[in-house]
Structure 1
Amino acid sequence: MARCQCGGDGCNCVVQAGDGTTVTGSGSVVNPYVVSAFTDCAGVRGCLSAGPGITFDQASGAIGADVSTTPGNNLVIDGDGLFVPTGAATVQTGCGLVGDGSGSAPVAVNSQSWPFTCDLEAAGGGVYCGTDDVLYSDPPVRQSFQQASVNVVPASPVAVPSASTVVRTLDLTVTNPDPCRSANAIVMRQIDVQFDLPANGGAAGAGINSDEVQYMRNSGSTATTAWHNQNVVLHNFTVPAGGSIVVSLDLTMARGAGGATWNNAQLVTRAWLFSNPT
């Protein structure tokens, strides 16, 4: 070190330690300067930070792998390090599904061929996912039969009125058992009235809801007793999903003449309900 006027066993150069360094020795051949540098972990941590896939704890200095929590990620950390289980890139399918999720075997519904002559897209039903993560199909079609009847037997024969008169009313509450769809209801109203018709002009008529369905006049010379005729009328109604309607059958009588009386009346109302996909 000529510029420091070094020679022999001495040197006039001054070497001073800076931050993080130490200087030992006198600069002689047998005792040269030794410059050492040192930093501790705390000094290095400020230069480090976490990044994608890496975690870093400034307090402890621990560096680790940052495993994504995004659903579908199969990477785990076990006792040996990072680990992806065998087959993690595929899935195991259960009932109704095929494929393993790979490019050559994507997961698909294990469907059947449409066996009907109608168009699938136009007539096919639906498949739905419930809040319990179970698949459900369209609700089943429901049908129902409901009936009400009454047999009216007066204590003694009753004169048939000349003007249209409601003699008895039978109500049937028709309830749709389908909570999902409206129902078509076919309703049958039926009456059967027995009349006693005196000779030479005894006459009587009966009807369903003011619609006269039977009439008889005895023009003979002998009385007719217990004459009757069963009559049926059909109607259709729509019953809302889970709802009810009241169907009334009014037995009316009219055109009584010649002392005609009635002694028995049977009223029946029947309903057939069918809920069908719209």
Structure 2
Amino acid sequence: MANCCSAPRCTCRVVAGAGVSVEGNGSSSAPYIISAGGGAATALAVQDSPSVDLTLSGTGTAGDPYEVTADVVLDPVPPGGGSNLLSEGPDGLFVECEGVRGCLSAGPGSTYDPSTGVIGAAISTDAGNNLVLGGDDGLFVPAAGATVATADTDCIALTGDGSAGSPLTAGPVIDPDPANALECRPTGLFAPAASGGATALAVNDTDTVDLTLTGTGAAGDPYEVSGAVRLDATPPGGGSNLMGSGPDGLYVECAGVRGCLSAGDGIDYDPATGVIAADLSVDAGNSLSIGGDGGLFAPAATGLTAVTSADSECIDFSGQGTGASPLTATPRLDPAGGNLLSCTPSGLRAVLAAPGCGLAGDGTAASPLAAQVQAWPYPACDVDALAGRVFCDSAGALRSEPRAMATYTQDTVGQNFPSPVVPTGFDNVIVTRTLTITNPDACRNAFVVCEVEVDIDFDLPANSGAAGGITSDEMQYFANRGSSGALDVHCQVTKVYNRQLTPGQVLVEPLDITMGRGSGGATYNRIQSFMRAFIFVL
């Protein structure tokens, strides 16, 4: 290169490549200048897929790189024509059995709860139905079955017919009164008492989409970002992920989730179609059929002479279960001390003991538990607008509104001066005193009564005058019209005004002491000030 450029002008050829510019002709007066980084921004494009929408932002510079984000596309009309049952969580997309139980419905002789996925047999309410479950867990009605006559009491409700296939059971009737505190213990019922180079580009994966970056960012090879949906292999509920992906987006259909259900006793279930039906027992003597209301029906038989019963922890039985001696049940009351339970015509009830301080009533319907209050004694005033309030603290104790507060603060200053001349004009600030006032209450405003006093000592030669005041209020003027001087002429003046502070506010209240109208060589030698604040929180 040194030999090439030894001539007045270099004959070498310099060609600019990608991202580089060349200036000059190689002479001593115009040498070659080669610069890099002046090219155009790197090209970048994004391309959507059937299951992912991509968005491009940024300008492609080092300080503002391109940024690509992705959103999952959910198919609003899956191929099977059903609703899309897909959900999105922090670990990806998922579908669980709990979200798809609405894909099933009950047929004749069956019941189905879409909120829990539980399938059961529908027992007909037609009169005389005597249906039970057979030995193979199918529905069964004995050919010579029998029923028992029962009669409920105020506090016990009976179910079953007393046969081996449908044993008689009894349950307590709980009074629905909100004050009822009844519970059933192993020993019986109980109610307790009350208590600069290439353009920068990066992609960021999300919980539901993985992004892939290809290309170099050149005009002929632009960056390209593609996305793939993340399917949660272990959804939060612990089941399998039932989601599908098609050309029009992600979807979940009823046909893909019917395997989440299974048949229990007395039920047939086809996971291929989602049809639920009653399973009729093949045991000999089964007389079960579908009743007139679409439920399972078994005609009742006759001939019962007695029924066998067994007492439980909370119920005692009596009677034979016949028309002449109907089976009845009575509650067992725990003899433990403090049991407030009783049996009333409306059911079992726990009556509270005598109330404590501030309470009235015994918790019964006729005398409900309530706060002990007095009549409002101010007929001219609205109780809703003017009465105070009562609150419950973290320990369960009743509390009133915050107590009233009253406090006081003051400051006194006496200052001597080397007899400066009283200025002319009006309301000249000579000195400023301050008083710090604090609202001691953290939740209520404070009303403050401020009182300030100023006393200025003037020395007045013959035919002189001077004025003093507080802020812009001139409150005194002295004039000596005699032939001799007057010393320490003064008068103590006072002002009273108010301030209001927000909860916890600290106010620095100023007192500007002013003078003016000085003439004839009038001077001052002492200023005394008094600042007081009376603080009330009501």
In the TM superposition, what whole-angstrom CA distance separates every residue of 1:103-146 from its partner, at most 9, and x where no partner exists? 23211111123334533222111111223222111112222212
- The answer on whether the counterparts of 1:149 and 1:170 sit within 8 Å (CA) in structure 2 is no
Q: TM-score, normalised by structure 1?
A: 0.69
Paired residue type of 1:138: E
The corresponding residue for 1:171 is 434
SS at match of 1:111: coil
RMSD between superposed Cα atoms in Å? 3.0
Matched with 2:182 is 73
Instruction: Verify: 1:119 aligned to 2:382, yes or no.
Output: yes
Whole-Å separation in 2 of the counterparts to 1:143 and 1:66: 64
How many angstroms does 1:251 deviate by?
Answer: 0.7
What is the CA–CA distance in structure 2 between the aligned matches of 1:142 and 1:275, rounded to whole Å?
Answer: 5
CA contact (8 A) 1:193 1:230 kept: yes
1:129-140 to 2 correspondences below 5 Å:
129-140=392-403
Query: How many Å separate the matches in 2 of 1:274 and 1:231?
Result: 25
Find out whether 1:234 has 2:487 as its counterpart.
no
Give, in whole Å, the separation in 1 of the partners of 2:136 and 2:411: 90
The letter of the residue matching 1:73 is L
Which of 352, 372, 375 is residue 91 of structure 1 equivalent to?
352
Aligned counterparts, 1:1-278, within 5 A: 72-78=181-187, 81-82=313-314, 84-85=333-334, 86-88=339-341, 89-92=350-353, 93-116=355-378, 118-154=381-417, 156-163=418-425, 164-199=427-462, 201-276=463-538
- Residue 250 of structure 1 and its aligned partner are, at CA, apart by 0.8
Between the aligned partners of 1:105 and 1:259, the Cα distance in structure 2 is 90
The number of residues matched between the two structures is: 219
Structure-2 change in CA distance of 1:105 and 1:217 (3 Å): same
Q: How has the CA–CA distance of structure 1 residues 148 and 65 changed in structure 2, closer, same or farther, with 3 Å as cutoff?
A: farther
Q: Which moved more, 1:256-265 or 1:76-85?
A: 76-85
Deviation at 1:222, TM superposition (A): 2.6
Alignment partners' CA distance in 1, 2:430 and 2:493:
16
Give 1:81 deviation, angstroms: 2.4
Amino acid at match of 1:81: E
Q: Within 2, Cα distance between the matches of 1:208 and 1:247?
A: 13
In structure 1, what is the Cα distance between the partners aligned to 2:452 and 2:395?
Answer: 46
**SS at 1:159 equivalent:** coil
3-state SS, counterpart of residue 100 of structure 1: coil
- Decide whether the 8 Å contact of 1:74 with 1:84 is kept in 2: no
Structure 2 CA distance for partners of 1:78 and 1:143, relative to 1, 3 Å: same
Q: Distance in 1 between matches of 2:500 and 2:389?
A: 24
Contact 1:185–1:237 (CA<8 Å) still a contact in 2? yes
1:139/1:84 Cα in 2 relative to 1: closer, same or farther (>3 Å)?
farther
1:137-186 superposed Cα distances (whole Å, 9 cap, x missing partner)? 111222221212211112x3222122343221111121111222111211
- Give the C-alpha shift of residue 195 in structure 1: 0.8
- The amino acid across from 1:205 in the alignment is A
Q: In structure 2, the residue corresponding to 1:204 is in which secondary structure?
A: strand
Task: Give SS of 1:122's match.
Answer: helix
2:363 is paired with a residue whose SS is coil
Q: Quick one: higher RCO (CA 8 Å, sep 6+), 1 or 2?
A: 1
Q: Gapped runs of 5+ residues in structure 1?
A: 1-42, 54-63
Q: Deviations over 1:38-64 (max 9, x none)?
A: xxxxx969589xxx99xxxxxxxxxx9
Partners of 1:195 and 1:261 in 2: how far apart?
A: 6
- Residues in 2 aligned to 1:251 and 1:197: alpha-carbon distance in whole angstroms: 19
Look at both structures and tell me which one has the larger radius of gyration over its CA atoms: 1
TM-score by length of 2: 0.37
Q: What is the identity percentage for the equivalent residue pairs of Structure 1 and Structure 2?
A: 36
